[in-house]
Amino acid sequence: MNRFDYTSFLKRWLMVLVLLSAPVLRGLGQYYASAGNALRSAQASAGSNPTTESTVSLKDALHDLKKRFHLRFAYREGLLDGKTVSATWLHQEQAPEVILEKMLASCMLGYKQINKKQFSIFSTATADRTTGNAATSETSTETLAATETAAQEQAVAAAISGTVTSQDDGMALPGVNVIIKGTTTGTTTDSDGHFSLNAPDDGAVLVFSFIGFQTTEVPFSAGQTVVDVVLPVEMTSLSEVVVTALGIEKERSALAYSVTEVKGDEFTQARENNVANALTGKVAGVNATGLSTGPGGSSRIVIRGNGSLTGANQPLYVVNGMPIDNTTPGGSATTNGGAGNVDRGDGIGGINPDDIESISVLKGGTAAALYGSRAANGVIVITTKKGRAQRGIGVEYNGTFTTEKVSVYPDWQYDYGQGDNGVKPMTLADAVTTGRRSFGSKIDGTDFVAVDGLTHPYNAQRDNVKNFYQTGTSLTNTLAFTGGSDVLNYRISMSDLNSRSILPNSTYNRKTANVSINSKLGDRITVDATLQYNLEKAHNRPTAGDALGNPNWTPYMMANTADIRWIKPGYDANGNEIAWNDAPIASNAYFVANKFQEDDIKNRFIGQASVSYKILKSLSLKGVVSRDFYNYNYNYIVPSGTLYVPNGQLNNYKTDVAETNGMLTLNYNTQINDFSIAAFVGGNQRRYDYKQLNIAGSNFTIPYFYSTTNLATQSTTPLTQRTGINSIFGSADFGYKDMAFITVTGRQDWFSTLSPKNNTIFYPSIGGSFVLSEALSMPNTIDFAKVRASWAQVGGATPDPYAINLTYSMVPSSGQPLQNVTMDPTTQTNIITNPNLKPLTSTTYEAGFELQFFRNRLGLDVTYYDRKTTDDIVKTAITPTSGYNSVILNVGELSNKGIEVLLTGSPVKNGNFTWNVSYNVAYNKNKVVRLADGLDQIQMASSVNGWAYINNIVGQPFGTIVGTRTQTDANGNVVFNKTSGLPVATGLQNLGQGVPPLTMGLTNEFRYKNFSLNILIDGKYGNKIFSLMEVYATRLGKMKSTLPGRENGLDVSGVDQEGNPYSRTVPVSGLRVYYDNYKIYSDKFIHDGSFVKLRQIIFSYNIPVKNLKVLKLQSASISFVARNLLTLYKSTDNFDPEQGYTNSSAQGFESFGLPRTRSYGMNLMLKF
């Protein structure tokens, strides 16, 4: 019996945790199962078996058992692949052991019950050669597979045999993996726990491994022939786990707060360039918004409402347990900027979706308490894919191609065409003057002279938007290699993303290389390292905001009888901009696209390394160092010949940013009878360095030669920012059986950005959960019930250094030296520093419950939270008459209360067809409770020309849009100014909130055999949006609201400011000025920003690779994806409600960003 039972075997079986999560989260594992189905069906239809029996994949069947009986299964990775069982077993009313045995037996499998709830599954078939190198979607802590080649076997010298038993109950253990250390030679125990193999005659070490038991090494000496082993039970419980703070995996039932996990393949199929955008609609309480800034643009994620009055309010991103930088180089785009007001992309946008294993969204304060202040807005924990031990090298290819087109077009008036005073242009000069005015005569098809100097018929040109923007494309290729042995596992991936924007001549390229290594050096030391290198290049990122240098302005604002292609290519023979309108700052879109040069390159390196040392069985020490470093080079050239700056401008940023973290933790885990304790203490040191050099200048001495050496005027401004946070923290989890859990954490932070007398804060958290279904007997319909509650504080400080002392800076001068008070580097305006700044506090109460009904066909997860931020550190605009433009203060109180509901269900579930539904909805009520004494509102942002503002006002929700209305008297009559004949505007009033309080997402997933269809609908309700585009469209006569009076003048009436009746007729010749003046009444441009969108459709087909053996494919799938397919509801006529263009906290303005698009694509995944 010295031959191998398996030509392929595992050196060591390690845990594979079956993650039987919500159906929607189920990943590629399904594909294998379905592939098996297809195979069987194919055989059936071929007539080999006339009685077609309904089958389900073994995985699904186990999933069902798991949910019905709260069992946990562990098995070797790949063991279940392709195996199916009769669907009838799903519904049998028998003991789980009985069902399990029957099912497994039909698949040549057996099980070993490890404890009341846990089962280990193994193969009973000697012929089973399922190898472990098939990647699965299951969370694999580590899996090893050995090569099988007989040639690699060592010289057979002596036979060795023995029996393996469990320490727990003394029973024989079948299926235990036995291997000679350092070789690929090994076997498994038979059903009696017996094994035998050939071993070197000079002695070696045998390694015994089995799921649920500690891996044990037993040396044997030369001549020894019998080795009997007793395996101790592994303390680590096998259960559904999620990754929580500091990368710690926790059992879901032990969590005292709400965590949502999203699997990596949700991002790879229907992909967004920025992975954060793909969270839209998927997680209750997470408000994710992609921006209208094209490929390479940023995302804006807000979890449970905006908790800080003026801070970024975005969550902390953590990759493999360590924070990464998510800043936008040069800062977010402003709400009112002009040329070069671009979104330069954020940090999370650099993560390749294909490298992501899973994303956990930690919403509660308890989870966040361990990451410190920056986690006050929630944490998004990303776990990247890891290598696995396996036979040979696993190769995975993922390719995605998407195309996108503009999906939202403005609804302008096409009754009256280009011109002014009711007259169409008949000369080139008139055509230029009226290039953006649609106050001409009735559109009638007669001749007029257009801006190209030619005569054209006076016809409506409805397709300027369509004609200007092109079809955008995006192609991503990712190739990943995985492999490993018992000491070292690796995964290497390389990815290339190439995007062509819908904006002509605008591109984005991202290359990512990711290496992940984990290694076990002996018994006690584990080393993990992840290295990532990114190269991101963007060309001509689109400007948003004001008109100058904004290519999005022309297609919308060009007069409605002019074809935008008439101003192509936008420049003359000398390369100078051709005017298409009377305002030089309203740039020619083609000139901007063709001649403006905006390039940025980001070189980013993320490195992480951790060493873990097991001091005792229950005590280990772990050290982690991580560094996220990037250098960024941005060059923006406004070329010679630009109308608004004929001699050109240059703006260059060179930025080096590094976020470095070092963390040391001492971990202690033990089990005392029914009580478990998991505790750790640790310290973290964070350093952030931002070094920037800005070279700005104007007037190229030699025209068209764009170098800093050629600038008549230039200045160089350095910016050096350094901050640090030192922390110590501790956490303890106590568990009683699988029933009751308590978590206590505490953390003390020291902040470099605050003054030494106020720079530290301690903040604790406590949380508990109780699994009712374990403790009490429940009605039959309820399968699982858990309640949870927590209380947590998080302290924080200003992220900006140098905020406590006023300093003075030299101003570049060619003459006498000049000095100024040091300005805020982001706004370049004066800021009042504050030596008394103290840490802010954010306190969250949270309570919730989870229920599973009807054999887990229906699930409900409800959370209520109450989050309060006090002593917020606020950078607020103040009147410039104070001598400063902003001040930094500890003020006020901000409250967020909300409820999150997740409803999951499986309305249909039979062998071939399943339908799963997941609906999440969250309502967040936000209120500014208090600001400082004498301060009842603060300004967050202003629009171009101050036509509207975003304020935080006491008693109002965060981010209230503020502006004017048309003044009326008590009887509703419009009040006119007699002198000007124009309606009077009111003072500033609240016009609505800019952030939607209600968000929801509905996912329907259908699976039939090898096909699956995933449909996501999401919506947001209750916010307002102020449209700058409509302000201009009104001023320029493109809005339908400017039609009255075109023929015979506009009769207006009301009262004058003294209250006397007033009326007049605005002549046709005065209409433009009259409507132009509408810009001072903000409320005319306020819209409800609510929407419901058909966000995503993924249609996938698992290619049955077993029919394609020649290709050596493990698995393959092809998906057709569509994003932003349809807007089911919106109340904006001319733009998309999601037309934001800055990832700052100031949300609620729309202003000529890139239009929203609909995208279609195809995704191909191949595994070899």
Using DSSP, how many helices (H) and how many strands (E) does the chain show? 12, 62
Give the one residue of 368, 443, 878, 1105 binding other proteins; rule: CB under 8 A: 878
In the block, tokens 């003026």 appear at: 310
The DSSP-derived string for 564-616 is GGGGTTSB-TTSPBPP-SS-TTS--HHHHHHH-EEEEEEEEEEEEEEEEEESS
Give the one residue of 574, 816, 971, 1060 binding other proteins; rule: CB under 8 A: 816
CB of 1068 to other proteins, least distance (A): 11
SS3 content of the chain, % helix, strand, coil (to 5): 15, 45, 40
Q: What's the full length of the chain, in residues?
A: 1168
Give CA–CA dist 967/683, Å, rounded.
60
**Residue 942 binds to other proteins (criterion: CB under 8 A):** yes
CB 1143 within 8 A of CB 291: yes
By rule CB under 8 A, what string of x and - marks binding of each residue 1093-1132 to other proteins?
A: ----------------------------------------
Q: Which of residues 784-803 bind other proteins (CB under 8 A)?
A: 801-802
Q: Which of residues 954-983 bind other proteins (CB under 8 A)?
A: 962, 977, 979-980, 982
Extended beta strands in 854-984, E state: 858-877, 886-909, 913-930, 937-942, 949-953, 960-963, 975-977, 982-983
**Residue 131 binds to other proteins (criterion: CB under 8 A):** no
Strands 158-166 and 194-199: antiparallel
- The residues, any chain, with a CB within 8 Å of residue 1120's CB and separated by 6 or more, are 1098, 1099, 1100, 1160, 1161, 1162, 1163
CB of 630 to other proteins, least distance (A): 21
Give the one residue of 84, 177, 260, 939 binding other proteins; rule: CB under 8 A: 939
Measured between alpha carbons, how far is residue 1167 from residues 59, 395, 1074 in Å? Answer: 20, 6, 66
Which amino acid belongs to residue 394?
A: G
CB of 617 to other proteins, least distance (A): 12
**Residue 828 binds to other proteins (criterion: CB under 8 A):** no
CB 40 within 8 A of CB 34: no
CB of 991 to other proteins, least distance (A): 13
Residue closest to 637 by CA, chosen among 600, 601, 596: 596
**Residue 170 binds to other proteins (criterion: CB under 8 A):** no
Choose the binding region for other proteins from 147-155, 389-397, 670-678, 1105-1113 (rule: CB under 8 A).
670-678
In the block, tokens 């699965």 appear at: 136
Rg of the Cα atoms in the chain: 33
Cβ nearer to other proteins, comparing 719 with 1126:
719
CB of 797 to other proteins, least distance (A): 11
By rule CB under 8 A, what string of x and - marks binding of each residue 760-779 to other proteins?
A: x-------------------
Cβ nearer to other proteins, comparing 182 with 646:
646
CB of 931 to other proteins, least distance (A): 11
Reading the block at residue 302, the tokens are 């807000």
Q: Which of residues 697-716 bind other proteins (CB under 8 A)?
A: 698, 712-713, 715
Reading the block at residue 232, the tokens are 């101790």
Give CA–CA dist 1021/886, Å, rounded.
32
**Residue 574 binds to other proteins (criterion: CB under 8 A):** no
Cβ nearer to other proteins, comparing 158 with 806:
806
Q: Count the residues of the shown chain that bind other proteins, applying the rule CB under 8 A.
A: 107
Reading the block at residue 1052, the tokens are 């207006």
In the block, tokens 């899973």 appear at: 358
Instruction: Work out the end-to-end distance of the chain between its first and last CA atoms, rounded to an integer number of angstroms.
Output: 34
Cβ nearer to other proteins, comparing 658 with 728:
728
By rule CB under 8 A, what string of x and - marks binding of each residue 406-425 to other proteins?
A: --------------x-----
By rule CB under 8 A, what string of x and - marks binding of each residue 187-226 to other proteins?
A: ----------------------------------------
CB of 238 to other proteins, least distance (A): 23
Give the one residue of 433, 498, 603, 968 binding other proteins; rule: CB under 8 A: 433
Give the one residue of 710, 863, 951, 960 binding other proteins; rule: CB under 8 A: 951
**Residue 652 binds to other proteins (criterion: CB under 8 A):** no
Q: Which of residues 605-634 bind other proteins (CB under 8 A)?
A: 618
Cβ nearer to other proteins, comparing 888 with 901:
888
By rule CB under 8 A, what string of x and - marks binding of each residue 898-937 to other proteins?
A: ------------------------------------xx-x
Choose the binding region for other proteins from 65-73, 672-680, 917-925, 1145-1153 (rule: CB under 8 A).
672-680
Choose the binding region for other proteins from 59-67, 204-212, 476-484, 746-754 (rule: CB under 8 A).
746-754
**Residue 666 binds to other proteins (criterion: CB under 8 A):** yes
**Residue 453 binds to other proteins (criterion: CB under 8 A):** no
Give the one residue of 879, 972, 1109, 1110 binding other proteins; rule: CB under 8 A: 879
CB of 316 to other proteins, least distance (A): 21
CB 369 within 8 A of CB 307: no
Q: Which of residues 577-606 bind other proteins (CB under 8 A)?
A: 582-584
By rule CB under 8 A, what string of x and - marks binding of each residue 1038-1077 to other proteins?
A: -------------------------------xx-xxx-xx
Cβ nearer to other proteins, comparing 508 with 700:
700
Q: Is 702 exposed, middle or buried (0-12, 13-18, 19+ CB in 10 A)?
A: exposed
Choose the binding region for other proteins from 19-27, 235-243, 806-814, 1114-1122 (rule: CB under 8 A).
806-814
- The residues, any chain, with a CB within 8 Å of residue 1072's CB and separated by 6 or more, are 420, 421, 437, 439, 1035, 1037
Give CA–CA dist 748/740, Å, rounded.
27
**Residue 838 binds to other proteins (criterion: CB under 8 A):** no
Return the SS3 of 820. strand
Residue 131 half-sphere exposure toward CB, CA atoms < 13 A: 17
Which amino acid belongs to residue 194?
A: H
- The residues, any chain, with a CB within 8 Å of residue 1081's CB and separated by 6 or more, are 964, 965, 966, 983, 985
Cis bond before residue 457 (omega within 30° of 0): no
The DSSP-derived string for 998-1027 is EEEEEEEEEEETTEEEEEEEEEEES-EEEE
CB of 569 to other proteins, least distance (A): 18
CB 566 within 8 A of CB 464: no
CB of 699 to other proteins, least distance (A): 9
Which amino acid belongs to residue 1007?
A: R
**Residue 748 binds to other proteins (criterion: CB under 8 A):** yes
Choose the binding region for other proteins from 459-467, 497-505, 666-674, 1157-1165 (rule: CB under 8 A).
666-674
Give the one residue of 814, 970, 1058, 1060 binding other proteins; rule: CB under 8 A: 814
Cβ nearer to other proteins, comparing 652 with 715:
715
| 58-69 helix and 96-106 helix, angle to the nearest 10 degrees | 170
CB of 12 to other proteins, least distance (A): 29
CB 1 within 8 A of CB 196: yes
Q: Which of residues 290-319 bind other proteins (CB under 8 A)?
A: none
Choose the binding region for other proteins from 206-214, 560-568, 668-676, 1011-1019 (rule: CB under 8 A).
668-676
Give CA–CA dist 441/419, Å, rounded.
7
CB of 712 to other proteins, least distance (A): 6
**Residue 432 binds to other proteins (criterion: CB under 8 A):** yes
DSSP lists the bridge partners of residue 750 as 726, 760
